[in-house]
Structure 1
Amino acid sequence: MKHIEDPKIKLRLSVRKSAVENARKYAGKHHTSLSTMVEEYLNQFHEPISDGQRKADIINSMFGFLKDSPMRNMTDWEIKDMMMKDKYGL
């Protein structure tokens, strides 16, 4: 599947000078750009995703999380059993 990149456009805003100066300082301290900060803020305004999609996104973000864990070779049942023993002190 070919990934189509979302093109960038220029955006002209009128903002107080002090706000821009403060934002640039903040961006510099956090090793990012003002454009990236504004884009991340604007990305918050989209249609809400379904609960199922949100769960899938979380699971996909954790893919490989346990790759180097001692639990990597355990079955789901073994992990559940271990958690129950830990929770109830068995």
Structure 2
Amino acid sequence: MAKAIWNGVILAESDKGEIVEGNYYFPPNSINQEYFKSSETHTTCSWKGVANYYTIEVNGQENKDAAWYYPDAKEKAKNIQGYVAFWRGVKVEK
């Protein structure tokens, strides 16, 4: 069971994720939505598509753009469409 943890809180937990380019992508239904706020940040990957970001907020502290997902992934990345990955200090334990 993989867990994403930041500031002492489990942000996501699942054994049904996908690993792509060394990042663990959590299924959308495994995310604890109360800690996620939509961000205006977007980036583009040549083979995955346009990524949207979330800012994580836990106990009054923010971690800006610490999670991302591909809402409309390109064909080669359809297996992670909507799945959420983390960085910026979020620890993923497997």
Q: TM-score range by the shorter chain?
A: under 0.3
Larger radius of gyration: 1
Q: Greater helix share, 1 or 2?
A: 1
Relative to total residues, which structure has the larger strand share, 1 or 2? 2
Question: Which structure would you say has the larger RCO, counting Cα contacts within 8 Å and 6 or more residues apart?
Answer: 2
TM-score (normalizing by structure 1):
0.25
